[in-house]
Amino acid sequence: MTGYDWISFTTDYGLSDGFVAACHGVVARLAPQVRVIDVTHSVAPGDVPRGAAVLAQTVPHLPPAVHVAVVDPGVGTARRGIAASTPGGLLVGPDNGLLPWAADALGGLEAVVELVNPEWFAPDVSRTFHGRDVFAPVAARLARGAPLTDAGPPVDATGLVRLPDPVVAVGDGWLEAEVLTIDRFGNVQLAAPGEALDGLGPTLRVGGVRALRGGTFAEAAPGGLIVYVDSAGRAAVAVNGGRAAVVLSVTPGDVVRVNSSG
């Protein structure tokens, strides 16, 4: 196996501590030729669905890589660590629902192993920092070209933990959809695909607030709400010059209703 030139890294670690640097350091020591792309370390602590959504929307735009994701509130428990192959790269992380959406985005799961080979881990594995002591060293070895099967025994891909599908319902002149993500601009990304907007008119109400359907933020007046198809192909809501999440008073996981309005 030829290995990979890149490792991507997605976590809820934040940047105020040394957690991310420690994981980078492990990779640098074991695979100094491999470069790391930081996807984000600002996933809300323990928010597995949000980590899964960001990862799945990002990996198709990255080079072939070993994608490490650690949003792991069950660290140190009986939850498994896994590595998986897909047509578009490898995935490494906890078996808690974080990885399957990304696997789908990369062409689907081909093989999955449970990470049980202690020779691939740090000499002393912390019960609370598997990102540093398990997932980073595994990713580095895979990037160097080590066979996936050396990391542990195969497991049935159908037995992996999968997150429930986000809520999406579409009717005559309306749709209801779960808030999938909220970006740093306050734009509200819905789980509904962009084509779900095709049955709606140009004037809308979102959660009772008047909105326009458009293609760019500037099509709404300053402070006005715009419903559009975002860069990930999802239906989304923004405010021209403001924060839609504040206007709608929503957080990820809430369900938003969009209606055609006269």
Q: DSSP string of 170-222?
A: EETTEEEEEEEEE-TT--EEEEEEGGGGGGS-SEEEETTEEEEE-SSGGGSPT
Question: What are residue 136's phi and psi, to 5 degrees?
Answer: -65, -50
Contact call for residues 70 and 94 (beta carbons, < 8 A): yes
122-139 pLDDT, tens digit each = 999 999 999 999 999 999
- Residues 19-33 have a mean pLDDT of 98
Model pLDDT, residue 130: 98
Model pLDDT, residue 2: 81
Model pLDDT, residue 38: 98
Query: Is the pLDDT assigned to residue 167 strictly greater than 90?
Result: yes
- Quote the CA–CA distance of 169 and 184 in Å, as a whole number: 26
- Quote the CA–CA distance of 202 and 132 in Å, as a whole number: 50
pLDDT band at 49 (very low <50, low <70, confident <90, very high): very high
User: Which tokens belong to 198?
Assistant: 């095709």
Query: Is the pLDDT assigned to residue 147 strictly greater than 90?
Result: yes
Cβ neighbours of residue 129 closer than 8 Å, sequence gap 6 or more: 19, 22, 75
- Quote the CA–CA distance of 104 and 163 in Å, as a whole number: 13
Query: Is the pLDDT assigned to residue 262 strictly greater than 80?
Result: no
With pLDDT > 90 as the criterion, what percentage of the chain qualifies? 97
* Residue in this structure with the two tokens 């008047």, named with its chain if needed: 210
pLDDT band at 1 (very low <50, low <70, confident <90, very high): low
* Residue in this structure with the two tokens 């498994």, named with its chain if needed: 80
Q: Rounded to whole angstroms, what are the CA distances from 255 to 68, 163, 180, 248, 258?
A: 30, 17, 9, 11, 10
Q: Identify which of 90, 40, 51 has the alpha carbon closest to the alpha carbon of residue 82.
A: 90
72-113 pLDDT, tens digit each = 999 999 999 999 999 999 999 999 999 999 999 999 999 999
Q: Does 190 or 261 have the greater pLDDT score?
A: 190
pTM reported for the whole predicted model: 0.95
Fill in the amino acid letter for 205: R
Cβ neighbours of residue 159 closer than 8 Å, sequence gap 6 or more: none
DSSP structural state of residue 80: P
Contact call for residues 192 and 230 (beta carbons, < 8 A): no
